[in-house]
Amino acid sequence: MKGMFRGAIAVAFAGAIATAGGILARRYRHEMSAARARLSAVARKSVRTAFGDIEYAERGTGEPLLISHGIFQSCQSALLFSELLFPGRRIIAPSRFGYLGSSLPPTATPAEQADAFAALLDALEIVKLDVVGISAGTTSVLQLALRHHQRVKHLVVLSGNLPGSPTAVVQPWWSRVLNRQLPVWAIKVLSPSTMAFLAGVPKRLVMTTDDARFVTAFIDSLFPVTPNVRGVDFDAFVSNADVNGYSLEDIRVPTLLIHSKDDPLVRYEAAERAAGRIPGARLVTLESGGHLMVGQTSTVRNELESFLG
């Protein structure tokens, strides 16, 4: 009798696991289909350069502004930030090396990425413009300011990957396993709070409905991950750590850094040190908001409008 009872429990348990697995599999397919649809809705173009194809999105009119996106992101995420922070501007949002349709040169470096940005500007017949680096996208725009300062009107660094920060290191080899679509999706579904923290939202941050909606939209913009894997690996194993060797003292363009004290991904102290090294740089300190500067849209937008004129 006990054996029959145990057997029934085992069968029921196996059935529950199979059912849950089926539900998750269907949800995975549905969400990846929705992610591909969102990406397809973004009008993307491509130009051929000495560094391979550079894919980019363009939106709006007015004075041009280039946004360099962060890790796991793409031109899609850059456009999401631009809607909040840069109304009335013509946004040029390239996908960096290895992201979406942009090539990854065999021996790619952030310096080459900066040269590729300059090549894109040549193709678009843009002589000079404002440049924004977000998170891991900071590394290549610092190189742009160092190597092609004549192309940069103003340099803005938002929650930047900067020398001495925890992100500015070569990641351990096993992180390649986690930097893939299924593990990232599993975290998003099974532990939303962990996913939000990995996106840069402090654990105790109180959010409004609009804040939560933005965070959800941002996390959704990271999918599909698969087309970005080469770029994620480039950032994690090459680009992020490269920033430690930069001579920030040689930057000669007007520079603004904006950083939250409670950023869980990049220490605020790294932004303080960088601002002290870049001649004439200004640091705007946010008391809260984390890596995504959640709830600080009005403050950040006002600072940007004042700085960019």
* Mean pLDDT across 129-147: 98
Q: What band does 309 get if pLDDT is binned at 50, 70 and 90?
A: confident
Whether residue 184 sits in one domain with residue 66:
yes
Cβ atoms of 145 and 253 within 8 Å: the answer is yes
Both 88 and 156 in a single domain? yes
pLDDT at 196 over 80: yes
Alpha helix positions (H), 164-259: 175-178, 181-190, 192-198, 209-221, 229-234, 240-242
What size, in residues, is the chain?
309
Amino acid at 124: L
Question: For 116-145, what is the mean pLDDT?
Answer: 98
| Residue 235: DSSP 8-state | I
In CATH, what number is assigned to the domain containing residue 146? Answer: 3.40.50.1820
- Shared domain for 187 and 248, answered yes or no, is yes
Query: 200 and 273 share a domain?
Result: yes
Residues 29 and 63 in one domain: no
Nearest to 55 by CA among 93, 90, 81: 93
Residue 115 and residue 102 in one domain: yes
* Beta bridge pairs of residue 200: none
pLDDT of residue 3: 52
Decide if pLDDT at 4 tops 70. Answer: no
Pair (1, 142) in one structural domain: no
Instruction: State the number of CA atoms in the 13 A half-sphere of 81 facing the CB.
Output: 30
Pairing mode, strands 255-260 and 129-134? unpaired
Within this chain, do residues 37 and 49 fall inside the same structural domain, yes or no? Answer: no
81 and 145, same structural domain? yes
Domain of residue 115, residue span: 45-308
The predicted-structure confidence for 21-34, as pLDDT tens digits, reads as follows 789 999 999 999 99
Whether the full predicted model's pTM is greater than 0.95, yes or no, is no
| φ/ψ bin of 126: left (φ > 0), alpha (ψ from -120 to 50), beta (otherwise) | beta
Looking at the fold, whether 179 and 132 belong to one and the same domain comes out as yes
Looking at the chain, the whole-number percentage of residues with pLDDT higher than 90 is 91
Residue 9's pLDDT is what? 46
Give strand pairing partners of 283: 257
Same domain, 93 and 215: yes
Give which of 219, 200, 273 is closest to 243, Cα–Cα: 273
Conformational region of residue 283, where left means phi above 0, alpha means psi within -120 to 50, and beta covers everything else:
beta
> Are residues 24 and 107 part of one domain?
no
Quick: pLDDT tens for 54-96: 999 999 999 999 999 999 999 999 999 999 999 999 999 999 9
Give the chain's domain count.
2
Assess whether pLDDT exceeds 70 at residue 8: no
Instruction: State both tokens at 241.
Output: 């750590």
From residue 269, alpha-carbon distances to 153, 160, 170, 174, 243 in Å are 26, 11, 20, 28, 15
For residue 60, the one-letter residue type is G
Of 98, 124, 115, 95, residue with least CA distance to 50? 115
